[in-house]
Amino acid sequence: MTALQERALTILARLKSLYPEATCTLNYQTPVQLLVATMLSAQCTDERVNQVTPALFSRFPDASAIAQAPRSEIEALIRSTGFYRNKAKHIQAACDMIVSEFGGNVPDTMAELLKLPGVARKTANVVLAHGYGINAGVTVDTHVKRVSHRLGLTAHSDPKQIEKDLMALLPRSEWENWSIRLIYHGRAVCKARQPLCDQCALADLCPFPLE
């Protein structure tokens, strides 16, 4: 085990202690609903998504219903999540493919999920981990990207390469909840503009305060 791997595991242990209940904060009942909620969460808070999805899923509960829905009605229901026209377009196209090519069921492999319109690795990782219990990779959002870089766990800026770096440092069973805990830490302490380094439980493991 390398020194970097040992440090990553120490960081993981502290994050577990700091955020023991870390799990997906999106509300959903099926993999289709999780997929849609995750797509809606792009550049939007989970809290806002959870305010929107009850009405959306009540009206259109599955892939077939979403695929056949009037686009304007979906847009109206998701408007407050931002970029609603583009999101509605991708969500409907993805659900149409789920119905036509996957029998109405969200696929459970990374390769198949990436075929869906509007779905990249970030969304696919969330769906696989929380919809099917499959840790296929590490979800990299803006918080994970920023905090991982500050902690010296990656020197890359490309999310795909950051994901590879983190996968090499962490046990597979921890990949998804690592991301959630790092997101919590990024929101609460390691903020983008003014990180609270003097309050950070990871400060002694982090090169960032010394920069």
Candidate list 62, 141, 164, 191, residue with the active-site label: 141
Give the three-class secondary structure for 83.
coil
Candidate list 87, 122, 145, 165, residue with the active-site label: 122
- The predicted structure's pLDDT at residue 210: 55
Query: Catalytic residue at 89?
Result: no
Domains in the chain with CATH codes: 3-22+138-210 (1.10.1670.10), 31-132 (1.10.340.30)
Query: Catalytic residue at 141?
Result: yes
Residue 65 tokens, joined:
């219903």
Give the three-class secondary structure for 66.
helix
pLDDT, mean of each 10-residue run, the chain (211 residues)? 96 97 93 98 95 98 98 98 98 98 98 98 96 96 96 96 98 95 96 95 87 50
Query: What φ, ψ does residue 117 adopt, rounded to 5°?
Result: -55, 135
Q: Provide the whole-model pTM.
A: 0.93
Of the chain, the end-to-end C-alpha distance in Å amounts to 27
